[in-house]
Amino acid sequence: MSKVDRRILKTQEALKKAVIELMSEKNFDAITIQDISDRADVSRGTIYLHYLDKYDLLDKLIETHINELRKKCTAAADMDFISGSPLWTEYFERNYLFFSMMLASKGAPYFRTRFLDFLVEQFRKEVDVTKGKNQGLHEDAFVRFVASAYVGVVEWWFMNEKPIPHQVLAEQLGVLLERNL
C-alpha cells in the first residue's frame, strides 16, 4: 500500500477544517470555492486537484467520519452493545464542531441521512424480531425506529450544547437500546 504524501494530507485537512468553520458561519449553499480557498490559505486550483467541487469535499468529509464510526463499531464488538460504548460519544465529543454543524444546523441535511443509513446498517445486525418482546414486528420498521431514536438523541445532545457528559450519554443510549432490543 502506497504512503500518501504528508503535504497532501495536510492540505486536505486544511480544506476540511475550512469547510467546517465556514459552515459555522453560513449555510453550505452560500459557501464558495473562493471562501474555502481563502480560509484554507490554498489556491482554488489546489482544491480542484483534490476534489471535484465543494460537494465532493463535503462528501469526502462525511465519509471520513462515517468510516471512523464504523471502525469504532468494530473496536467495540466485544462490548455488550456498540452504541452503549463511550467510543462513539467520545468521538462525537472530540469532533464536536463537525457533528454540531452536521446535526444541529440545517447546513448539511445530507449528513443526517447518511448517519441514519449507517445506523440502520449497524442496528440490523443486533435486531431479532423472531423472538422476545419484539417478535412479530416488521424488521425494517423496527430497525428504522431504533436508528431514528438514536439519531434524535444525538441531535438533542448537540442542539443543547452537550447538556450531559459524553460518558452519561453513552450509558443512557445503551440502557435505552437495551430496553428496546
Counting residues of the chain whose pLDDT is more than 90, the rounded percentage is 66
- Asked if residues 175 and 84 have their Cβ atoms less than 8 Å apart, the reply is yes
- Inform me whether the pLDDT recorded for 159 exceeds 70: yes
Average pLDDT of the chain is 89
**How far apart are alpha carbons 94 and 127 in whole angstroms?**
29
Q: Determine if the pTM surpasses 0.75.
A: yes
- H or E segment and range at residue 65: helix 54-75
Amino acid at 102: M
Domains and CATH numbers, the chain: 1-51 (1.10.10.60), 62-180 (no CATH)
- Inform me whether the pLDDT recorded for 105 exceeds 90: no
**How far apart are alpha carbons 163 and 156 in whole angstroms?**
9
Q: How confident is the model at residue 89 (pLDDT cuts 50, 70, 90)?
A: very high
